[in-house]
């Protein structure tokens, strides 16, 4: 009997204001085919990027276009800023956190120079991806969202 067993919940928040879309609508097949994991994307309307989870920063890519996070519920989460932005070698990205830092949906992780990223013909989608390919999220419906909106609240 698991009467007092605590159940974990994965809560995912909009990391930026903009247009929410399913991961399957992302213009990169590695993401849209869920090869990296399930998730969602937001086409940003602002430059400030916040944490999509409550947890910890685990690493920052040297090219500043992505961070790995660990959710309080235990999942590894990839926050990927833009498509093919690794080619920019950090140009247009300012990271505001360090590995090991505790974070939640009110923690600003980065600032993007959206004009610079677009000037390099890169897509600015901000992707939140659960790296555990066994985790399947409910269907995401396209909609306009504000930073901090709950996108998914899923019992594990």
For the chain, percent of residues with pLDDT exceeding 70? 96
What does the pLDDT average to over 111-129? 97
Helix/strand/coil (H/E/C) assignment for every residue in the chain: CCCCCCCCEEEEECCCCEEEEEHHHCCCHHHHCCCCCEEEEEEECCCEEECCCCEEEEEECCCCCEEEEEECCCCEEEEEEEECHHHHCCCCEEECCCCCCEECCCCEEEEECHHHHHHCCCEEEEEEEECCCCCCCCCCCCEEECCCCEEEEEEC
Exposed (0-12), middle (13-18) or buried (19+): which is 38, by Cβ within 10 Å?
A: buried
pLDDT band at residue 5, thresholds of 50, 70 and 90? low
What does the pLDDT average to over 14-30? 97
- Convert 97-135 to b/e letters by CB count within 10 Å (16 or more is b): beeeeebebebebbebebeebeeeebebbbbbbbbbeeb
| Distance between CA atoms of residues 20 and 14, nearest Å | 8
pLDDT digits (tens, 9 = 90+) for 24-59: 999 999 999 999 999 999 999 999 999 999 999 999
Domains along the sequence of the chain with CATH: 20-155 (2.70.70.10)
What does the pLDDT average to over 81-99? 97
pTM metric for this prediction: 0.94
65 is catalytic: no
Q: Given 7, 19, 80, 120, which residue is catalytic?
A: 80
């Amino acid at each position: 009997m698991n009467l007092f067993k605590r159940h974990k919940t994965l809560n995912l928040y909009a990391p930026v204001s903009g247009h929410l879309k399913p991961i399957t609508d992302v213009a990169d097949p590695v993401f849209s085919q869920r090869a990296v994991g399930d998730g969602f994307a937001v086409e940003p309307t602002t430059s400030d990027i916040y944490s999509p989870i409550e947890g910890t920063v685990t690493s920052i890519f040297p090219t500043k276009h992505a961070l790995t996070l660990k959710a309080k519920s235990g999942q590894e989460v990839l926050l990927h800023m833009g498509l093919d932005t690794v080619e920019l070698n950090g140009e247009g990205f300012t990271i505001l956190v360090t590995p090991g830092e505790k974070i939640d949906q009110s923690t600003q992780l980065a600032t993007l120079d959206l004009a610079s990223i677009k000037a390099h013909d890169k897509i600015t989608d901000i992707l939140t991806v659960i790296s555990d390919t066994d985790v399947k999220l409910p269907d995401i419906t396209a909609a306009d969202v504000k930073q901090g909106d709950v996108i998914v609240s899923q019992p594990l």
